[in-house]
Amino acid sequence: MRIYKFGGASVKDAEGVRNLARVLQATGTDKTFLVVSAMGKMTNAMEAVVDAYFDEKDAVTAALESVEAFHLEILRELFPSESHPVYLKLKALFNEVRGFLAWNKSPKYAFVYDQVVGYGELLSTLIISEYLNQEGIANSLLDIRRYIKTDANYRDVSVDWKKTQEAISGLAGSRELYVTQGFLGSDENNFTTTLGREGSDYTAAIIAYCLNAESVTIWKDVPGVLNADPRYFKETRLLNRISYREAIELAFYGATVIHPKTLQPLQRKEIPLHVKSFIKPSDPGTQVGKGMAIEPRTPCFILKKDQVLMKLSSLDFSFIVEDNISEIFKLLHDYKMKVDLIQNSAISFSVCFDNRFGRLPELLQHLKGKYRVKHQEGVSLYTIRHFDTRAIESILNGGDVLLEQRGKETVQYVIKS
Ligand code: ASP
């Protein structure tokens, strides 16, 4: 089986859906599993519904209506006859969400989030499956929640691989074209769960793993995996081939193309991953596979903006050793800081991190009793893999380097931006 994943950007409007059908017509539909995200920015829009439900109940109706209007506009373009059954099915899904919000008694944000936000995917797959059928591309719409089983740690679940494997393997050997939702699963009580933002790639990998798929293709609005994010870097190059290991390293340093969680199941079964352009589906894109040397061998740049650099030193000139470091790490963990880089010397410890949940003031407060603390917010962390002098020069370019860390393949700079 081949697993195809189409993200929100690829189906952000009616033309995106038509294009998806064209990609399938060009590449064939035999033994293909289509995993689709919510359309465009609909996950954010559904998150706004949940936020309204908790913070401003009066705003829920309007927030849901705007999601409905967005989908209805796409329906009208794709299905000119309003008597097409898709209209009623769409309505039924909205009635379900409204019903849930009306009857729900749970005060738990994460639980409500998972029950509501996943409708983005349920809506997109309904529309896509119906459209493909209308275009003569026969397919079956699967509810992935029946197959991907998870724990009940809402918004950040772990997959129950055994149950998932059992459920999905029933689909093996089929020649049908399946259309299903990314991002979703269900717990023991059959409540909807979500795999974390950007989780649809992971869905594709889970299905691939359980079906021993021949490949996974992630269709994107870029030509493949690039050596730098075109939003921040002028000259970018397409990487034709990279290893799983390289892809995991790039993701670790902050490249957002492929999530490491997605790579792990693929790597374990050595299932090739293709990242291709849905605009030019016949272009080769990037292939990720076992032991593939990076080609072309070119420096890869990763930029993480808006980081915090914090330097701690002991108040009494004593060494910063294991017990201090473990205490510091525990605090970083407790305040949910995402650590990007550390460096220590005898009496100081520097750490660059992402203040994701805005809890920096609490952390500083906590540390100040024990250490001399200096910190700088809004710094940028540049990582260059496979660096050379030219690549380094292009980054430094007169910037104020606050910290440097160099390994054999990777160099990192914290720069005051
Ligand atoms: N729709 C979800 C999100 O936007 C999952 C995904 O697209 O990967 O995060």
Task: Please write the tens of the pLDDT for every residue from 235-282.
Answer: 899 999 999 999 998 988 888 778 878 999 999 999 999 999 999 999
* Closest atom of ligand 1 relative to the 44 alpha carbon: 4
Radius of gyration of the chain from its Cα atoms, rounded to whole angstroms = 24
**Which tens digit of pLDDT belongs to each residue from 49-99?**
999 999 999 999 999 999 999 999 999 999 999 999 999 999 999 999 999
The CB of 120 under 6 Å from ligand 1? The reply is yes
DSSP class of residue 199 equals: T
Query: Are 172 and 136 a contacting pair, CB within 8 Å?
Result: no
The chain-wide mean pLDDT, for the chain, equals 95
* Closest atom of ligand 1 relative to the 201 alpha carbon: 8
Rounded CA-CA distance 168/288 in Å is: 24
* 3 state SS of 293: coil
Rounded CA-CA distance 35/32 in Å is: 10
Per the confidence metrics, is the pTM higher than 0.85? yes
Alpha-carbon torsion angle 393, 398, 399, 401, nearest 10: 70
Rounded CA-CA distance 36/176 in Å is: 16
Residues 6+ apart with CB under 8 A from 92: none
Residue nearest to atom 8 of ligand 1 (CA): 198
The fold of the 300-415 domain, in CATH, is: VC0802-like (3.30.2130)
The CB of 198 under 6 Å from ligand 1? The reply is yes
* 3 state SS of 113: helix
Q: Rounded to the nearest whole angstrom, what is the distance from the C-alpha of residue 139 to the centroid of ligand 1?
A: 22
Q: Rounded to the nearest whole angstrom, what is the distance from the C-alpha of residue 122 to the centroid of ligand 1?
A: 12
The CB of 40 under 6 Å from ligand 1? The reply is no
The CB of 7 under 6 Å from ligand 1? The reply is yes
Q: Rounded to the nearest whole angstrom, what is the distance from the C-alpha of residue 197 to the centroid of ligand 1?
A: 5
* Res. 369: pLDDT tops 90: no
CB atoms within 10 A of CB 100: 15
Residues 6+ apart with CB under 8 A from 282: 26
Residue nearest to atom 5 of ligand 1 (CA): 198
Domain map (residue ranges) of the chain: 2-213, 300-415
Superfamily of domain 2-213: Acetylglutamate kinase-like (3.40.1160.10)
Q: Rounded to the nearest whole angstrom, what is the distance from the C-alpha of residue 38 to the centroid of ligand 1?
A: 6
The CB of 125 under 6 Å from ligand 1? The reply is no
Torsion angles phi and psi, residue 261, rounded to 5: -55, -35
Half-sphere exposure of 223 (CA within 13 A, CB side): 13
Rounded CA-CA distance 308/219 in Å is: 34
